[in-house]
Amino acid sequence: MTTPDTPTATSAPAGVVSAFERGLQRGDNPQVAGADGPASTTLDSRWLGTWRRPGSRRRAPCRVCGHTFRLDDTVYLRHAEDGKLADVTHHLRNLPCSGQAPPADPPDPGAQAAFFRGVDNTDPRPDTLHTVRLMPDDPVLGHPRQRNACFVCTHTFRLFETVVVCPCSPEKPGCRKAVHQDPARGLGCFEQWRSELTVQQCPMNFRTLRRN
């Protein structure tokens, strides 16, 4: 009785594995060439949703600024030797995290804040929603290691966006919980939450609310 020969274990050369992994990425997202460098965030981008940085179980925001990735964000990709995506950072002038952003001075937060104050004074927002603009050092922004996020869209709050603070009682805030309300940036989260909420509970302490 003869025994079948045991198949000889083979492994593909590293170059082939790398090319295969990069090819998979091009198939998933044709706008990304599978190479290191700048890329635009689309609905097919792995880093937009469930991508995890190697060795981590958490949804991976930008490791430098701590902000989540959004549609149309320009990012900088880095791949491991085997071709797998290893790191993603923002590549924007207002979030120059990649270290390889275009050679230009970073924007001055003080000048930007003065600009937005002038805009708000010239064209004030309707007071019915009690929105506020997030200025530098506002605690709602958090910090790179612990960013605060909108409980509707789950994206982090960015500088100069407008939000509703204490959505249960924006006219007399009782907490610093916030939700986006910035239609100019496509973030109408507060109105969406207010119109779709079926169980009226405070997202901060879960007490029952009364609809006006």
Residue 129: give its domain's CATH number.
3.30.40.10
List pLDDT tens digits, range 32-69: 656 788 888 988 888 887 667 666 666 678 988 999 99
Are residues 120 and 68 both part of a single domain?
no
- Determine the average pLDDT of the residues in 142-148: 91
Is residue 34 one of the residues assigned to a domain? yes
Residue span of the structural domain in which 114 resides: 109-196
161 band by pLDDT with thresholds 50, 70 and 90: very high
Of residues 182 and 97, more confidently modeled: 182
Which amino acid, 56? S
Percent of the chain scoring above 90 in pLDDT: 20
Is residue 48 one of the residues assigned to a domain? yes
Are residues 40 and 77 both part of a single domain?
yes
CA nearest neighbour of 71 among 49, 42, 44: 42
Q: Beta-carbon neighbour count of residue 169 at 10 Å? A: 13
- Quote the number of domains for the chain: 2
Q: What share of the chain is helix, strand, coil (3-state, %, to 5)?
A: 20, 20, 60
Is residue 155 one of the residues assigned to a domain? yes
- pLDDT at position 179 is 93
- pLDDT at position 199 is 45
130 band by pLDDT with thresholds 50, 70 and 90: confident
DSSP 8-state symbol, 85: E
Are residues 46 and 74 both part of a single domain?
yes
Are residues 119 and 190 both part of a single domain?
yes
Is residue 104 one of the residues assigned to a domain? no
Are residues 86 and 149 both part of a single domain?
no
172 band by pLDDT with thresholds 50, 70 and 90: confident
List pLDDT tens digits, range 179-202: 999 988 899 999 888 887 644 667
Are residues 175 and 140 both part of a single domain?
yes
Q: Is the pLDDT of residue 134 over 60?
A: yes
Strand partners, 87: 78
User: How many residues are there in the chain?
Assistant: 212
Query: Of 42, 61, 90, which residue is a domain's last?
Result: 90
Are residues 192 and 114 both part of a single domain?
yes
Among all chains, which residue has been given the structure tokens 């958090």? 142
Is residue 18 one of the residues assigned to a domain? yes
Are residues 84 and 115 both part of a single domain?
no
- pLDDT at position 109 is 64
Q: State if pTM tops 0.85.
A: no
Are residues 140 and 77 both part of a single domain?
no
Is residue 128 one of the residues assigned to a domain? yes
Are residues 39 and 71 both part of a single domain?
yes
